[in-house]
With several copies, the nearest count.
Chain A
C-alpha cells in the first residue's frame, strides 16, 4: 500500500461524499477520455484529408461529463452546442455516431450528413438538432422545458453554450422567460475565455457570466471546469432544484481551451505561448486522472484497460463510419417538409 493509497483510506474520497461510487467515477473518466480520444482522432482524420472540418472540445470534457451525469439519459433533454462531444456521449450518442457525422454519411443520426461535423442531434436520446447560429438554442431549451412543465412530464432540460454566445440577445431572452416561469432548465455556459479570437474581457461585461443569473432571480454558479467533481456537484444541485419545481440555474464552467477554435483557426495568431501553456496545466483529463489515482480508484492497470478499450472502440467506429454509405445525391431534395407517415 503506497502512502497515497493510505491517505485515501483515511479521509473519505470526495466522490463518495457526493454519492458517487467508484464505478461512477471510472465511468466518468471513461467518457472524458473517450471524448478526448475521439477528438484527437478527428483531427488526425482531418489532417489526413479524410474529413473537411473539425470543431471539438478539448478542455471542455470534464465539465460536460460532470454536468451531464445527474441527467436521466432517457427522460431528460439536452440541447448541445458544437463543443458538446463529451456531453452527447454521456447522453447516449456513440463514437460511431460522432464519426458518421464527421464523414457526413447517410446514416449519421444528427443530420444524415447534411450538416457540418459538430452539429449534434439525436431524437432517440433526446438531443435536439442544433444549428450553427450561436445562441438560438437557448430559447429552444426554454421551450422544451416549458412544454415539460405544461405537459407535466418531469423532464429536465440542459442547454449549453460558450461564453461568447452569452452576448446574443437570445440568451438573455431565454433566461428571462425561464426565470419568469420557473422552468426546469439548466443553463450551461462553458467559459473558455475566448470566442474564436475575442478574449473574455471584450466579450462579457463584468467578466462573470454566472453573475447574470441574479438579475433574473435565479442562482448562478461559477465553477472550475477542470474540477469534474465540483462540476458534478453544482449540476446535481441544479438538477434537484429543477426537479423540485424551483426553476432554472445558470452554471458557468471556467475551462481551458486546449486547441484552436476549429480546424480553420490558428490560435497562435492571437494567443501567447505562455497562455496556451498555462491552459494545458488545467486539462481536466489529467486532473481527474490524478484525482482517481490519488484516491486509488484507478491505477496504471485500470487506466490502460480504459485507454485500450477506447482505442478499440474508436478504431471500430472509424472503420464502421468509413464503410458507411454517403447520401444519395437526389436525397438532398427530401424532408423540406413532412412527407406523410
Chain B
C-alpha cells in the first residue's frame, strides 16, 4: 500500500468517484483551473470538463442552494467551501433546506450533497481561516458530519459520503493536508460513516478527540506513557451520528475520560460527548469527565504569541491527562 498525503487522498476520492459515476459534479470557488486553494480538486477539470467541475461565483449560500437543486434533479454534487469559516453564509441553505428536504417532504425528495470544508487552525490562519464549525452542524438532525483523520479514512469516507443518499458535511482539518501521510488501500473501498476508532489502546484513561486534536492527543499519550500513564485514544471520526458505543466501551475499561477539541469549549461538540458519558457511564466513572477546549474568545488571533496562547498543544493535553490520572 502506497503512503500518500491527506490532501492526495481527498483528491483521489474525487477522481475515482467522478470516473465511477457521471452524476457526480464538483462546484465551488476556484475548484477548476486552480484546483482549489488547497489542491483538493486538482486535475478534475482536465479530466471531467467544465460541466462537471464548476468554478462557482463567490456566493456560498447559492453554492449550497444550487447543489441542493442539482441533487433534486439527479446529480450528486460535491460543494466545496474554500474555508469552513465561509460556510456561514450558507447556514440557512444547509440547515433549513439540505438537512430538512427529506423530512419535510415525507421522503419524497432527498438531498445527496456532500459539503466539503477545510476547518481548524494552522499557523497564521487567524480569526477567519481557522474556525471549527462542527458543533453548529452536528446539532442539526438530517445532516451527517464527519471528520476523518487519516488518508485512508479521508479517501474511504469521502467515497462513502458521495454514495450516501443524504447530505454529509465533510470536514478536513487543514493542518493535516500536507503533514499527515499514511497508507491507503489499493482499489475501490469505502470506510463507513459511523464507527469510531480506537487509535491507541490504553487502560488508565480515555482521551476522546477528532481532527488535528487526535494527533496532539496521540503525542500527549506518548509523553505521559514514560510517566506510567497508559492512555487510550479514541478517534471519533463521525460526529453525527455519533458512535457512542465505542466511547462508552472505552470508558467502561478506563473509568476516566478526557475530551479534547479545538473549538471553543462552551457548547462545543465535546460537551455532548461529556454529557453522554456522564449520563450513560455514570457507574463506570472514577473521576469527573474532563474537557479540554479552546479559550472563550471569538477565534484564533494571528500574532504568534496570541496564536500559541490559543492553540491546544500536546503539552496542554498532557497536563490535562496528568490531572485526570491523578484524580
Interface positions of A (Cβ within 8 A of B): 52-53, 77, 79, 104-106, 108-116, 119, 121-123, 128-129, 131-136, 138-151, 153, 155, 164-165, 167-170, 173-174, 176-177, 180, 195-198, 202-203, 264-265, 269-270, 326-339
**Given A197-B34, A269-B34, CB of A121 within 8 Å of CB of B110:** no
Q: Which residues of B contact A110 (CB under 8 A)?
A: 105
Contact status B108-A336, CB under 8 Å: no
Contact status A114-B103, CB under 8 Å: yes
Q: Which residues of B contact A203 (CB under 8 A)?
A: 57-58
B109 adjacent to chain A (CB < 8 Å): yes
Contact status B66-A133, CB under 8 Å: no
* Minimal beta-carbon separation of A93 from chain B (angstroms): 13
Contact status A169-B89, CB under 8 Å: yes
B29 adjacent to chain A (CB < 8 Å): yes
- Give the interface centre of B71, B74, B96, B310 by most chain A CB atoms within 10 Å: B74
* Minimal beta-carbon separation of A279 from chain B (angstroms): 17
Q: Which residue of A lies closest to B75 (CB)?
A: A147
11 A-B contacts (beta carbon < 8 Å) = A77-B73, A105-B303, A111-B302, A114-B126, A143-B71, A143-B77, A146-B70, A147-B72, A174-B65, A177-B59, A332-B301
Q: How far is the CA of A198 from the CA of B61 in the complex (A)?
A: 18
* Minimal beta-carbon separation of A61 from chain B (angstroms): 23
B309 adjacent to chain A (CB < 8 Å): yes
Interface 0/1 of B65-93, CB less than 8 Å to A? 11111111111010000000110110011
B127 adjacent to chain A (CB < 8 Å): yes
Q: How far is the CA of A133 from the CA of B99 in the complex (A)?
A: 14
Contact status A147-B70, CB under 8 Å: yes
Q: How far is the CA of A337 from the CA of B144 in the complex (A)?
A: 9
Q: Which residues of A contact B96 (CB under 8 A)?
A: 131-133, 136
Q: List 7 tightest A-B contacts by C-beta distance, closest first.
A: A143-B69, A139-B65, A112-B106, A132-B128, A113-B303, A173-B62, A147-B73
B270 adjacent to chain A (CB < 8 Å): no
Contact status B128-A131, CB under 8 Å: yes
Q: Which residues of A contact B310 (CB under 8 A)?
A: 332
B295 adjacent to chain A (CB < 8 Å): yes
Q: Which among B62, B89, B128 is the interface contact of A142 at CB below 8 angstroms?
A: B62
Q: How far is the CA of A169 from the CA of B57 in the complex (A)?
A: 11
Q: Which residues of A contact B101 (CB under 8 A)?
A: 129
B297 adjacent to chain A (CB < 8 Å): yes
Q: Which residues of A contact B301 (CB under 8 A)?
A: 113-115, 327, 332
Q: Which residues of A contact B187 (CB under 8 A)?
A: none
Q: Which residues of B contact A108 (CB under 8 A)?
A: 106
Q: How far is the CA of A110 from the CA of B103 in the complex (A)?
A: 11
* Minimal beta-carbon separation of B162 from chain A (angstroms): 14
Q: How far is the CA of A111 from the CA of B303 in the complex (A)?
A: 10
Q: Which residue of B lies closest to A106 (CB)?
A: B303
Q: Which among B30, B73, B89, B92 is the interface contact of A144 at CB below 8 angstroms?
A: B73
Contact status B73-A148, CB under 8 Å: yes
Q: Which residues of A contact B141 (CB under 8 A)?
A: 336
Contact status A129-B74, CB under 8 Å: no
B225 adjacent to chain A (CB < 8 Å): no
Q: Which among B73, B89, B100 is the interface contact of A151 at CB below 8 angstroms?
A: B73
**Given A143-B66, A174-B62, CB of A115 within 8 Å of CB of B104:** yes
Chain B, interface SS category: loop
Contact status B86-A133, CB under 8 Å: yes
Contact status B104-A167, CB under 8 Å: no
Q: Which among A269, A327, A336 is the interface contact of B303 at CB below 8 angstroms?
A: A327
Q: Which residues of B contact A149 (CB under 8 A)?
A: 51
Q: Which among B30, B51, B109, B295 is the interface contact of A123 at CB below 8 angstroms?
A: B109
B2 adjacent to chain A (CB < 8 Å): no
Interface 0/1 of B205-242, CB less than 8 Å to A? 00000000000000000000000000000000000000
Contact status B306-A327, CB under 8 Å: yes
B166 adjacent to chain A (CB < 8 Å): yes
Contact status A114-B303, CB under 8 Å: yes
Q: Which residues of B contact A140 (CB under 8 A)?
A: 65-66, 68-69, 72, 97
Q: Which residues of A contact B71 (CB under 8 A)?
A: 143
Q: How far is the CA of A105 from the CA of B312 in the complex (A)?
A: 22
Q: Which residues of B contact A165 (CB under 8 A)?
A: 58
Q: How far is the CA of A132 from the CA of B103 in the complex (A)?
A: 14
Q: How far is the CA of A109 from the CA of B92 in the complex (A)?
A: 25
Contact status B107-A335, CB under 8 Å: yes
Q: Which residues of B contact A328 (CB under 8 A)?
A: 305
Q: Which of B43-63 contact A (CB under 8 A)?
A: 51-52, 55-59, 61-62
Q: Which among A105, A106, A155, A337 is the interface contact of B166 at CB below 8 angstroms?
A: A337
**Given A195-B29, A335-B102, CB of A329 within 8 Å of CB of B127:** no
Q: Which residues of A contact B67 (CB under 8 A)?
A: 143
B14 adjacent to chain A (CB < 8 Å): no
Contact status A202-B57, CB under 8 Å: yes
- Give the interface centre of B73, B93, B144, B309 by most chain A CB atoms within 10 Å: B73
Contact status B106-A114, CB under 8 Å: yes
Q: Which residues of A contact B75 (CB under 8 A)?
A: 147, 150-151
B21 adjacent to chain A (CB < 8 Å): no
**Given A133-B88, A333-B297, CB of A147 within 8 Å of CB of B128:** no
Q: Which among B35, B86, B124 is the interface contact of A52 at CB below 8 angstroms?
A: B124
Q: Which residues of A contact B304 (CB under 8 A)?
A: 104, 326
* Minimal beta-carbon separation of A116 from chain B (angstroms): 4
Q: Which among A138, A167, A195, A265 is the interface contact of B65 at CB below 8 angstroms?
A: A138
* Minimal beta-carbon separation of B76 from chain A (angstroms): 10
Q: How far is the CA of A170 from the CA of B64 in the complex (A)?
A: 10
